[in-house]
């Protein structure tokens, strides 16, 4: 019999918060991590985005915090502003009935406002590495009573060059703290960090392949380096036209470096393609604009680095193109997991230069099958995946819901005091949907996005449009449709 959240040892206030947002049963990583963290153990969780890792560490944190104690008791470090905001929203939802104060600190926002929030309270601080260090140096953030530290997306912190700063922060927390580390991949520097700063951690691994590869048709295309840009244009035009008239196609083209990302973006733009770039050297405002345009399906092609695309969780991506072969098989699985979501089929095409043959062979060994050759006009089926022998049993995440989803836009956001929990609660109560059926909720300053099953979209719009949410009138419509 499947476990419930109540079976995991969570308090009634936390269970009530989960009922409010419609969470019914724990995911595999939650089922394993929550009891270990509640027992006071350090935990290493190797899991991709979308496996429920925020709740895996966020729910136990709620059980640790004494809301009557006026000090920072838990710290969650994130590599990016987007993830910081996302985690903060989730933690506030989980602690809705507890009086626990969650403060987000990140660059690109006035530091004085964040200092004021910390002075006013702050039991849990969620922050980007640089801003946390800045606040510590200004004596605005004190960690001497911090009993719980989470490193979220640790491999991305490594990619961004933050690991030394992470170690500085860890050294300023009590040695008796409990530490949780979550990472999609586990390169040697991350393992070394865990060895140095964690005590006999419990390791939990969630297999990503069953989330993605079974719904993705995979192809390889052998190219010469000098011909790659032209070949990419050819492939994009062939693939974008293959869906037929009226079929929306969205492509993420992955490259290894920020410089390459910018160069390729300019090349594609100059060839007349509707394309945007997403990389770490862009301003936060520019990155937000690109992400919004891509989420709203106004831009069909996004050229991105792995790091920049981490916070981009979009179910409508139809294609992933690996312009550069990923440096590790885990990264390959993580990249192609951006397509073939919520029951849709997807296509992944990897460009392979002669010098990259060995890297491709390592990927094929990892996924347990050969990747077919790409040819223009070839439809292709998802690449079959043979079960790989394992040294120990790992949980598999199986997607239960194969129904297509549609994206809705709500004409209010954070400026109206709106939270993720408010949107999920309103949809579940007014339209009768289960909380798990409401996906990809994203609350921005003046508007919000959510996805619901295609067959329920009109019912959700009819139930909510014209009502009030957080004191503001609801204006809800499909993305791409005219606002009523």
Edge-to-edge strand order for the sheet containing 102-105? Answer: 102-105, 124-128, 74-78, 148-151, 178-183, 43-46, 202-205
What whole-number percentage of the chain has pLDDT above 90? 32
Separation of alpha carbons 285 and 65, rounded Å? 34
* Residue given tokens 């935990």 in the structure block: 43
Secondary-structure percent of the chain, ordered helix, strand, coil, rounded to 5: 40, 20, 40
> ∠ CA(62), CA(46), CA(198), 5° rounding?
65
For residue range 411-456, list pLDDT tens digits in order: 888 777 777 777 877 787 677 666 567 777 777 777 788 888 888 8
Q: Which tens digits make up the pLDDT trace of 225-283?
A: 888 999 999 999 888 876 544 457 899 999 988 888 999 999 999 988 999 998 877 87
Whole-number pLDDT of residue 459: 83
Is pLDDT at 158 greater than 80 in this prediction?
Answer: yes
pTM score over 0.75: no
CA distances from 138 to 67, 132, 164 (A): 25, 10, 19
Residue 408's pLDDT band (cuts 50, 70, 90): confident
Mean pLDDT of 29-58: 87
Mean pLDDT for the stretch of residues 131-156 = 93
Per-residue confidence (pLDDT) for residue 60, from 0 to 100: 93
At 319 the pLDDT is 92
pLDDT band, very low/low/confident/very high, at 390 (cuts 50, 70, 90): very low
Which structural domains are found in the chain, ordered by start? 5-206 (3.40.50.300), 210-263+303-373 (3.40.50.300), 405-478 (3.30.70.330)
- What is the DSSP code string of 410-466? ES--GGGT--HHHHHHHHHHHH---GGG-EEEEE-SS-EEEEEEGGGHHHHHHHHTT
pLDDT, tens only, 6-21:
888 888 888 888 887 6
> What pLDDT does residue 40 have?
92
Instruction: Return the closest-CA partner of residue 83 out of 309, 337, 283.
Output: 309
Residue 166 class from Cβ within 10 Å (0-12 exposed, 13-18 middle, 19+ buried)?
buried
- Cα-flanking dihedrals φ and ψ of residue 463, to 5°? -70, -35
**Average pLDDT for 143-167:** 90
Cα(146)–Cα(95) distance, integer angstroms:
18
Q: What is the DSSP string of 436-448?
A: GG-EEEEE-SS-E
């Amino acid at each position: 019999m499947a476990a419930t959240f109540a079976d995991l040892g969570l308090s009634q206030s936390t269970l009530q918060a989960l009922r409010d947002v419609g969470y019914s049963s724990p995911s595999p990583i939650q089922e394993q991590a929550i009891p270990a963290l509640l027992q006071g153990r350090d935990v290493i969780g190797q899991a991709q985005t979308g496996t429920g890792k925020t709740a895996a560490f966020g729910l136990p944190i709620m059980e640790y915090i004494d809301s009557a104690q006026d000090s920072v008791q838990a710290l969650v470090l994130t590599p990016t502003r987007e993830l910081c905001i996302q985690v903060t929203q989730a933690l506030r939802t989980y602690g809705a009935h507890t009086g626990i104060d969650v403060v987000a600190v990140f660059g690109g926002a006035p530091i004085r406002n964040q200092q004021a929030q910390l002075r006013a309270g702050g039991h849990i601080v969620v922050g980007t590495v640089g801003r946390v260090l800045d606040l510590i140096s200004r004596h605005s953030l004190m960690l001497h009573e911090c009993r719980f530290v989470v490193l979220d997306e640790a491999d991305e912190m490594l990619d961004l060059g933050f690991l030394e700063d992470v170690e500085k922060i860890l050294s300023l927390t009590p040695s008796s703290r409990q530490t949780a580390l979550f990472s999609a991949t586990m390169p040697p520097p991350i393992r070394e960090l865990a060895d140095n700063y964690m005590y006999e951690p419990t390791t939990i691994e969630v297999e990503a392949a069953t989330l993605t590869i079974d719904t993705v048709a995979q192809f390889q295309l052998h190219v010469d380096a000098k011909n790659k840009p032209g070949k990419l244009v050819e492939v994009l035009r062939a693939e974008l036209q293959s869906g037929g008239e009226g079929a929306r196609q969205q492509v993420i083209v992955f490259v290894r470096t920020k410089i390459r990302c910018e160069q390729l973006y300019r090349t594609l733009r100059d060839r007349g393609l509707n394309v945007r770039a997403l990389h770490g050297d862009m301003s936060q405002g520019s990155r937000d604009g690109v992400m919004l345009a891509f989420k709203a399906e106004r831009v069909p092609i996004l050229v991105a680095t792995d790091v920049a695309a981490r916070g981009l969780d979009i179910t409508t991506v139809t294609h992933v193109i690996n312009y550069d072969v990923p440096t590790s098989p885990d990264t390959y699985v993580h990249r192609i997991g951006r397509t073939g979501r919520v029951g849709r089929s997807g296509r992944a095409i990897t460009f392979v230069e002669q010098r990259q043959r060995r890297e491709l062979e390592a990927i094929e060994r990892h996924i347990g099958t050969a990747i077919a050759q790409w040819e223009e006009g070839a439809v292709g089926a998802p690449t079959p995946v043979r079960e790989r022998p394992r040294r120990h049993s790992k949980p598999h995440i199986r997607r239960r819901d194969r129904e297509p989803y549609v994206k809705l836009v709500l004409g209010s956001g954070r400026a109206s005091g709106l939270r993720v929990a408010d949107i999920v609660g309103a949809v579940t109560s007014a339209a009768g949907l289960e909380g798990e059926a409401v996906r990809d909720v994203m609350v921005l300053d003046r508007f919000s996005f959510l996805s619901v099953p295609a067959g329920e979209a009109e019912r959700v719009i009819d139930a909510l449009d014209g009502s009030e949410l957080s004191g503001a009138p609801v204006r809800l419509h499909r993305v791409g449709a005219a606002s009523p």
